[in-house]
Structure 1
Amino acid sequence: MAKVLYSATMSLDGFIAGPGGDMSWLAEHLEPNPDIDGLVADIGSLLVGNRTFGGDDPNRGTDKEGAFGGEWSGPAFVLTHHPPDTPVPGFTFVSDLHSGLAAAKDAAGEKYVNVLGANVARQCLEAGELDEILVIIAPVLLGDGVRLFEHPGGTNVKLERVSASHASHVTNLWLRPAR
């Protein structure tokens, strides 16, 4: 059965996108990462938030445009209440978390459903559907933007460390929600 993974590169101060969803900061931190580079082969589908789907790609206009530096090819499900009028090749639009997650898990088979987007990841966590979290910490402070995790009013989500490793330029943290 598919596991649900939330993966993101984060600034040291906790942001996965800068103000207005700006992702340009990420480009200089996308160097080879031996502990993570093989992850794409373990992903069977994507569950993507609408803000992420319509957002800024640090590789736009290059041969590395798209998820995982253009390496991703496979089923992607976008969670949105406002699907585009025209179909978008390679993307299925779903209106609720449970049906989107079910479709993504079915498409992923025994591989990961990789969540892209902070809001969708929070929804998965709240629904008890998030199995693992991979945070790649980049050595930069953004000061503002989209947080890795945000819960108005606060909360205390306990996590267990699965592993930690370092590449020459980032720190990789694998975690799982404590159950």
Structure 2
Amino acid sequence: MAKLLYSGTVSLDGFLAGPDGDMSWATPHLGPNPEIDDLIGRIGALLVGRRTFGGDDPYRDDPERAGKAFGGGWSGPQFVLTHRPPATAAPDVTFVTELAEGVAAASAAAGDGYVNVLGADVARQCLRAGLLDELLFCVAPVLLGDGVRIFDQPGVPAVRLERLSVTAVPHVTNLWYRVLR
């Protein structure tokens, strides 16, 4: 059975993206990371937010890697959650309009692998709905001060987590948690 995992590079002050969704700040922190390399091989499908799919990409200035999941390190089925599906689909991409539909389709496609959630809004929706199983943050040693916070949900009850692992590589510290229910 697939597990839903949110993974992403975040600043030390909790920002996933800079102002206007700018992800270019993360590029210097995306170097070799054995934990991420291992994870990529266990991802069976992606559940992606429309904004992330449409361009919030730390590799957008690199023609070889732009628009590709994990900079081209992963390929497979993607399910994009959007209220406005485009008229034409991209290869291996299915556009879905409901969270439950997207989670079900991505989970079926992932089999026993992970459904990797990409995009702050989709991650918040999954967490609020009690669907996220795990969180993996690659914490970069930078303070952005402004931008898109990963879990900015005023008024939402605290979510308890169990630490699974902490690993450090030269450019980030990986923090992996299980969501407790």
Aligned equivalents of 1:103 and 1:18: distance in 2? 31
Contact 2:30–2:171 (8 Å) recurs in 1:
no
Q: Give the aligned partner of residue 85 of structure 2.
A: 83
Q: Give the aligned partner of residue 164 of structure 2.
A: 162
Matched residue count: 179
Deviations 1:42-78, CA, capped at 9 Å, x for gaps: 0000000111111232222422221111111100000
Q: Which one of 136, 139, 164 corresponds to residue 137 of structure 1?
A: 139
Deviations 1:131-166, CA, capped at 9 Å, x for gaps: 000000001111111111111335311111111111
Q: TM-score, normalised on structure 1?
A: 0.95
Q: 1:121 to 1:56 in 2, by over 3 A?
A: closer
Q: Give the aligned partner of residue 175 of structure 2.
A: 173
Aligned equivalents of 1:129 and 1:155: distance in 2? 15
Q: TM-score, normalised on structure 2?
A: 0.94
Contact 2:49–2:118 (8 Å) recurs in 1:
yes
CA RMSD in angstroms, aligned pairs only: 1.2
* SS of alignment partner, residue 70 of structure 2: coil
Q: 5+ unaligned residues in a row in structure 1: which ranges?
A: none
Q: Give the aligned partner of residue 113 of structure 1.
A: 115
Aligned equivalents of 2:155 and 2:102: distance in 1? 27
Q: Give the aligned partner of residue 34 of structure 2.
A: 34
Deviations 1:66-105, CA, capped at 9 Å, x for gaps: 1111111100000011011222222100000101100000
Aligned equivalents of 2:112 and 2:77: distance in 1? 14
Aligned equivalents of 1:117 and 1:80: distance in 2? 12
Contact 2:46–2:78 (8 Å) recurs in 1:
yes
- Give the letter aligned to residue 49 of structure 2: G
